[in-house]
Chains A and B, each alone.
Chain A
Amino acid sequence: MADQQRHKSEDTLLEARGVEVRFKGHAVLSGANVVVRAGEIVTLIGPNGAGKTTLVRAMLGLVKPDSGTVTRRSGLSIGYMPQRVVINPALPLTVKRFLQLGVPGKMFGFSKKVVDVAAILDEVGAAHVATSPMQSISGGEMQRVMLARALLREPDVLVLDEPVQGVDITGQAELYRLIHGIRKRRGVGVLMVSHDLHVVMAQTDHVVCLNRHVCCAGHPEAVSRHPEFVALFGDEVASALAVYAHHHDHHHDLEGHVVENEHQHGEGCDHDHG
């Protein structure tokens, strides 16, 4: 497939090979191969129950694969953004304190390595909520704060499970732009689960289409024409996406507006609609 642009194997940060996970005897995922390399965005797509989150959890070491292997480059630091975090209202926790929980070093709350939490909040455009309780911030702010927590450990790879869930459409576009900006600035690898096929096709280097196994994988353009992809998402979606992928100067967001494409995104992430 259109894999020629992919980097060499020494850039490999995180790799799943032939991963199979069973729940109560049923394989919910089998034969899954995914490689995440430095500076590259890999997106997992697929219908609900396709095993996307399971694969992510296996690659994070949260689930032990029943067969197959997950390898990490030695000393790999992972920034993880889980799906839909809800904090118990009974727990008084400001955004800043929440972030400090993720700071490496394990002693009692106070005597810790100094990490510039404020600067990282600024980087994700959430500086204004630093002293707010976690339960009072909006969905978009929550996702930014989670992203900040993932960045705290200076990760080599970001693992983002549906990073725009619970965020309105304009907020979604901003979040994706933010993620692209981070990839560019920090040169991290990104493994992302997403439902937003338009964004995936326009802004991803490598797509893995899952439906309990890997249906197809490769460059977005190639994947969108793959018969298994077409069977999974339907003719119309597939052909629409193929058209988007061909127009490299722009693509459309969910409201149909023209959005400038990848090479301009780096500059676009400064404005903040918090």
Chain B
Amino acid sequence: MIMDDFMTRAALAGIAVALVAGPLGAFVVWRRMAYFGGALSHTALLGVALGFLTGVQPELGVAFVVIAAAMMLSGLHGVRGLSLDTLLGIVAHAALALGLIVTAMLEGVRIDLMGYLFGDILAVGWEDVALIWAGTVLILLLLRHVWHSLLSATVHADLARVEGVNVGRTEFMYTMLLAVVVALAMKVVGILLVTSLLVIPAAAARSSARTPEAMAFAAAVLGAVSVGAGLWASYTYDAPAGPAIVVAASLLFVVSLIKR
């Protein structure tokens, strides 16, 4: 198959995001934060709107809003007898609905809503590719830096605290990294499918892994394979790329269940 230029760019961008979404997604799975990730990504459309309103790049608006949301949501616990997953469900969809309304009311701007909601990986330019790779390398380095503390805090926060881990700082750092990955992954699979890129490869990696590091690595590889397979399906059958990537990851997950 001869790769067109746009396919090369799409593959490079998608693989970079998958490499970082894998290990961070493993922590999402270990820390039971799938709903948290979902809520974060759903606020992203507000960020797009904010970007257009203030005239800065939409990506910057997204990063700003998602990080702000992460900071607010990470302090959230159940209130008035409602558990956290219920609250996150409310926040996610309220934020998305608000984002849809604000983008619809923006005057003089035509926003490619489908592109933001379901990803527009085939449209990434070389600048985006460079930005995504830089983000990926930076996030992986930072993750490596907090890996031991974060793993310890994930296994048992109090035990980690007594053993001298700065759990609050470590978890804050992780939340920030997650917010940035959500903003990056939005480019590839879109707002509505971001969580899938975090959770599905990590879940698929579980059955074959014996150590946390092996699971994180396998999640990165399976994510990259999903991006490759999804793009191939998109090229060959003209399927939408973002959803094709998610379906490919899901198939890998099913295979991992059967192999168990």
Contact = CB atoms under 8 A, between A and B. Distances in A.
Interface stretch (A84-92, A202-210, A211-219): A84-92
Interface in A104-121: 104, 106-109
A64 B56 CA distance: 44
A108 B145 CA distance: 7
Q: On chain A, which size bracket covers the interface?
A: 20 to 34
A92 B147 contact: no
B148 A92 contact: no
B112 interface: no
B206 interface: yes
Interface string B136-169: 0000000011011101101110110111110000
A192 interface: no
Contacts of A94: 210-211
A101 B209 contact: no
B158 A107 contact: no
B76 interface: no
A95 B32 CA distance: 21
B212 interface: yes
Nearest to B27: A91
A185 B29 CA distance: 41
Contact of A91 (B144, B155, B158, B165): B155
A109 B159 contact: no
Interface in A49-70: 57, 60-62
A177 B131 CA distance: 60
B71 interface: no
A78 interface: yes
A91 B212 contact: yes
A143 to B, nearest CB: 14
B211 A92 contact: yes
A215 to B, nearest CB: 26
A85 B156 contact: yes
Contact of A62 (B158, B206, B213): B158
B52 interface: no
A176 interface: no
A90 B144 contact: no
B213 A88 contact: no
A191 to B, nearest CB: 13
B30 interface: yes
Contact of A92 (B154, B162, B165, B212): B212
Contacts of A88: 30-32
Contacts of B155: 87, 91, 93, 98, 101
A153 interface: yes
Contacts of B164: 104
A97 B159 CA distance: 15
Nearest to B202: A90
B215 interface: yes
B214 interface: yes
A91 to B, nearest CB: 5
Contacts of B210: 92, 94
Given A106-B165, A109-B151, 8 more contacts: A61-B161, A88-B31, A90-B30, A90-B206, A102-B159, A108-B144, A108-B147, A109-B213
Interface of B: 29-32, 144-145, 147-149, 151-152, 154-156, 158-159, 161-165, 203, 206, 209-215
Give the 10 A-B CB pairs with smallest separation, nearest first.
Answer: A80-B162, A92-B209, A91-B30, A101-B152, A90-B29, A108-B147, A60-B162, A92-B215, A82-B158, A92-B210
